[in-house]
């Protein structure tokens, strides 16, 4: 349960910059299409240090539309991280 809560928190913190910036402007930015990488347009406001690549991968999986098969995207190194 601790791990699941931690992953939820990681996704919430990592994606907060997009969620916060799209709300006041009433922008409809589909989260499943956001470029979460360090070179993407939202990277400047992200404050995750040391586990950025892991946060990118987990956030990308977490924001997919319901019913999307993410199993192929979960690689062995994600499990060990």
For the whole model, what pTM was predicted? 0.72
30: Cβ contacts below 8 Å, ≥ 6 apart: none
Question: Which two three-digit tokens encode residue 75?
Answer: 């690689």
Which positions of the chain have pLDDT values less than 70?
22-27, 45-47
The values of phi and psi at residue 13, to 5°, are: -70, -45
Q: How many domains does the chain have?
A: 1
In angstroms, what is the C-alpha Rg of the chain? Answer: 13
Residue 28 pLDDT: 74
Inter-CA distances, 79 with 19, 56, 58, 75, Å: 27, 14, 11, 7
What pLDDT is stored for residue 52 in this prediction? 83
Owning domain of residue 28: 2-80
């Amino acid at each position: 349960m601790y791990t699941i809560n931690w992953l939820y928190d990681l996704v919430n913190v990592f994606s907060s910059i997009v969620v916060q910036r799209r709300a006041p402007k009433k922008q409809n930015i589909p989260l499943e299409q956001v470029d979460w990488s360090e070179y993407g347009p939202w990277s400047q406001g992200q404050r995750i240090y040391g586990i950025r690549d892991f946060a990118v991968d987990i956030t990308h999986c977490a924001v997919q539309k319901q019913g999307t098969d993410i199993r192929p995207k979960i690689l062995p190194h994600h499990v060990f991280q």
